[in-house]
Structure 1
């Protein structure tokens, strides 16, 4: 497996786990469904312990994510690749989570399929996942529109948990990267509701259909099921903690380099989920400095669109 040296380089180690990882937690370590890969756990623990020593966090739990895992498990259920670990209470929970879907532009195709992520980036507007170190920050709840729930027109609110990144992920706020429930309201029309605090100047509010994409792709954010979201959001409300997302750019580049040379990842001390690696062939990290100009040029080329005006609901 690999750990990170003080210089940030990849270091192979013969032992499977650090000696200080408690026995109850070691039982959850592995590459099977519901387990956490050794390198993901070790880096997540190291980040949490560092921030706890610095006084940056006091939360008894920390978070981790393995974006190399598939969206769907062999059982057909959403694949579990996000982890909530509370060592003081000996609690470990693995839940589903989305990853960035990317874009397909004329100058560059950095889109991801529904099952496995091949492309990663920290470029703003890339809609891709960027691995690395984060701290959870404040949450914001916003109104998205109305929908039909059991025959009743109901307002839909979604809470967004902001992440503060470090190093390559330091532009997390610029990218509007955070965590939220994997559900959005697909607008269909608008209706008059002058009593609604969310009505526009003419008294209209949007109406649509709820779309659930649990375990699928996102715009680069970390998404959870609605039930998992409630638990995670409650856990970090006014009590920030650390989040480590694997893989980082150095991992992606090292894996791609080893594959190009025909090397075995395990012998090279590298990790990638086996089923996804078979599906994607080789991963790619798109650095901000090279991808950002392409995204900016594409945006500048888009024709000016008039403001969206939804039809009146019938």
Structure 2
């Protein structure tokens, strides 16, 4: 059933039963999607199709309460769902690392499970909720060595997300999706023949680092092998992304597990293994956290930027 047909077939309340083939993927085990996550992702997608804002036959969902383990291909938490051809794919995705403002506030996250979420500027946190994919920007990040005498340019594409409701400041926060890779340990190399050379003929050169098993600055990061496939699906053809949990879910879980209690089977959803690891999750609203971050930045002004060193063998 196509997205358009699905919308036309929905009942008076706008809801549509999940197809049987898709229900086989519902659950909390590996390669499955939790029912609340799927229901919300599907509702968002069908509503945007009905509004004429989305024509893509596929939509995305992410369960940020699940562990991030790219080493286990069956244990991803980012879902690519294409109902027209009955395909369901699970891939890994990073979560926002947060920050530790020493002596002021600690809202940092570990590598495997996210405890802290929020929508504040400069918080580096994941904000759950509704998004639409938008334009894709591609930029040069530097050269890296592929062998002792060969180098390659690293070009990374970034898809901007436009948020809805609590995530409405996604563009202001520069929140989107990209490959979990960067060029690190940069020095400046003389390479005047490069189209990426600066006005003095130098280019950045470093080591290519992938961090699919790590954290991000709040963006959704995919492995370098998965990112091109995801981006090709939405290039010029936007779709929806629903990220779980929203603030209301975090608050409900925090209330339910307070005092050492465990989640009831019919209570709010959180991945069991991550909940055991993090204890009580927390949501940091921008109204409260942004003033704290701003004051911390004012009290701790950045050191003057040091010039990027020249690569060994270059002449100043």
Alignment TM-score, normalising by the size of structure 2: 0.90
- Cα distance in 1 between the residues matched to 2:304 and 2:283: 35
Of 75, 82, 86 in structure 1, the residue corresponding to residue 82 of structure 2 is 86
Structure 1 residues 112 and 78: CA distance shift in structure 2, 3 A:
farther
Q: CA RMSD in A?
A: 1.6
Alignment equivalent of 2:205, drawn from 199, 204, 207: 207
Unmatched runs of 5 consecutive residues or more in structure 2:
1-14
1:24 to partner: Cα distance: 1.0
Find the residue that maps to 2:38 and give its secondary structure. helix
Q: 1:100 aligns with which of 96, 100, 107?
A: 96
Q: Contact conserved, 1:72 with 1:78, CA < 8 A, in 2? A: no
Counterpart Cα distance in 2 of 1:216 and 1:35: 22
Moved over 6 A (4+): none
Aligned to 1:152: 150
Mapped partners of 1:271, 1:192: distance in 2: 54
Mapping 1:25-104, distance limit 5 Å: 25-72=22-69, 76=72, 79-104=75-100
Q: Match of 1:248?
A: 246
**Does structure 1 retain, via aligned residues, the 8 Å contact 2:96–2:124?**
yes
Distance 2:254 2:299 in 1: 32
> Partners in 2 of 1:273 and 1:240 — Cα distance?
29
Compared with structure 1, are the counterparts of its residues 111 and 251 closer, same or farther at alpha carbon in structure 2 (3 Å cutoff)? same
Separation in 2, partners of 1:186, 1:80: 26
Distance (Å, rounded) in 1 between the aligned partners of 2:153 and 2:224? 16
- The alpha-carbon distance between structure 1 residues 79 and 125, as it changes in their structure 2 partners (threshold 3 A), is farther
What corresponds to 1:270 in structure 2?
268
Q: Pairwise mapping of residues 191-206 of structure 1 onto structure 2 (< 5 A)?
A: 191-206=189-204
Distance, in Å, in 2 between the alignment partners of 1:159 and 1:38 is 31
Shift of 1:260: 1.2
Report SS of the residue matched to 2:230.
helix
| Aligned pairs, number | 296
8 Å contact kept, 1:102–1:111: yes
**1:62 match: secondary structure:** strand
SS at match of 1:126: coil
Structure 1: give runs of 5+ residues left out of the alignment: 1-17
C-alpha change, 1:36 and 1:304, in structure 2 (3 Å) is closer
TM-score by length of structure 1 reads 0.90
Call closer, same or farther: CA 1:79–1:267 in 2, change over 3 Å: closer
Deviations 1:38-90 (A, max 9, x none): 000000000000000000100000000000001127x7558400000000100
CA contact (8 A) 2:30 2:74 kept: no
Q: Are the aligned partners of 1:177 and 1:221 in contact in 2 as well (CA < 8 Å)?
A: yes
Q: Specify the alignment match of 1:125 in structure 2.
A: 122
* Alpha-carbon offset, residue 216 of structure 1: 2.3
- Assess if the C-alpha contact under 8 Å between 2:31 and 2:74 holds in 1: no
Secondary structure, in 3 states, of the residue corresponding to 1:290?
helix
Deviation readout 1:212-234 (Å, 9 max, x if unpaired): 11132111100111121111100
Deviation readout 1:126-176 (Å, 9 max, x if unpaired): 000000000000000010010012441111110001000000000001111
Provide, for residues 82-108 of structure 1, a one-character-per-residue CA deviation record: whole Å limited to 9, x for no partner.
Answer: 000000100000000000000001210
In the alignment, what sits opposite 1:164? Answer: 162
Q: Quick check: 2:26–2:33 contact (8 Å CA) kept in 1?
A: yes
